[in-house]
Amino acid sequence: MAPLFSITITCYNYARFMPRCLEAIKRQNFKDYEVILCDDCSTDNTVEVVNKFIADNPEMDITLLVNEKNLGVLGTRNRMLDSARGKYIMFCDSDDWMDDNCLEVLARYTDDDPDRIIAQFRDVDQDGKLVQVQDLPEHPNKWICGVHHGSVYRRQIFVDNNIKFERRYPDDVYINVLFNKHCSKVTFVHETIFNWYVHTDSQSRTPKADSPWIGHRLLDSAASYIMPVMNEHLTGDKAGEREYLELMLIKIYCLSIYSVQGLPLKTLLGEYKSCRKIMNEIDPDYLSNRFLKRSVESPMRDYATKIVRMTSAFEKLHLIKPALVCYFLISKVHYFDM
């Protein structure tokens, strides 16, 4: 009989984190799950650590896949997706870990047979310090919830619609946008049950200037899959959802600008100019989105709402460049994550 949950975990040179990740699963009171790990050609002792855990815990349903060649995190996720059997699938990284009641809480909300369950999670840094709780707003929306941490998805939707991870960025937003096209029922859980490990040290948070995760490259990639869904899928009786997905695009626009923290001010200002040009070309009326108004309840969490609304306000007042200079100075001592 297939389990309720398939917990998939990507592994690459994170042997030091594997025990924490796996022990957290072992502590779950809810046991109707399978664990699928896939090692992507690690050069450390990740495989040995996982095999020892499997040998020491024969009562757990754990499968270890080992890639013959490096597939990258997205190809590795696709391989585990093809191997999963559960009704719901969870995508995890080996440096993240569950709260002890994580699966129990999620299972509680499967009685209504949703397509996706979204719970709250924490950002925890390399020193074990709580950076922030990614809490849900009072009235969230599926198009705004673009990350997979603390979520489970109906696996059959991936199968029936041949949804696969691809090199589109942000890749978690990409997979959620595709999934949401076929997702009719989402349950939101206002409980914090998962921990996302984030690197906030200055070396780790300084990106490479040509990274696909920052600046105009990030926004260009996001626009390539968001705009077709907005213009072709969210029409007719679904037109009311368009502004939610547009808000996600605006959020990524802001993320694209602020993601260059750690790089020179000239780079920051140059990336803003490039990103603004993209937005003006693909969605020239984005500043008219109703969720940018303070009088309208935001479907985003409070932290992201403040950043997005402040950015749009500075643009309307033509004060964005002085604001970016201030951001550049503050980001030298403070970590930002939307």
Name the more confident of 84 and 259: 84
Helices 215-228 and 265-282, packing angle to 10 deg? 20
Peptide bond into 170 cis (omega under 30): yes
Count of C-beta atoms within a 10 Å radius of residue 287? 13
Q: Supply angle C-alpha 88, 94, 53, rounded to 5.
A: 90
Mean pLDDT, the chain, as a whole number? 95
Residue 97 backbone phi and psi in degrees, to 5: -155, 155
Ordered domains of the chain (ranges, CATH): 5-197 (3.90.550.10), 202-330 (no CATH)
CA distance 150 to 63: 21
pTM of the model: 0.94
Structure tokens at 309: 């609304």
Least confident of 150-154, 158-162, 256-260, 296-300: 256-260
Give per-residue pLDDT as tens, 103-126: 999 999 999 999 999 999 999 999
105 token code pair:
């809480």
| Residue 97 per-residue DSSP state | E
State the pLDDT at residue 79. Answer: 98
Span 155-211, pLDDT tens digits = 999 999 999 999 999 999 999 999 999 999 999 999 999 999 987 754 445 678 788
**Residue 2: CB partners within 8 Å, gap ≥ 6?**
85, 86, 87
Q: What is the pLDDT of residue 337?
A: 62
pLDDT digits (tens, 9 = 90+) for 63-97: 999 999 999 999 999 999 999 999 999 999 999 99
Residues of the chain above pLDDT 70, percent: 96
**Burial grade of 138 (CB within 10 A; 0-12, 13-18, 19 or more):** exposed
In the predicted model, is pLDDT for residue 310 greater than 60? yes
Please, what is the angle between helix 171-180 and helix 215-228, to 10°?
10
Q: Which pLDDT score, from 0 to 100, does residue 334 have?
A: 67
Mean pLDDT confidence for 122-142: 94
How is residue 67 written in tokens?
């890639």
Find tokens 């914090």 and name the residue: 192
- The answer to whether 117 and 151 are in contact (CB under 8 A) is yes
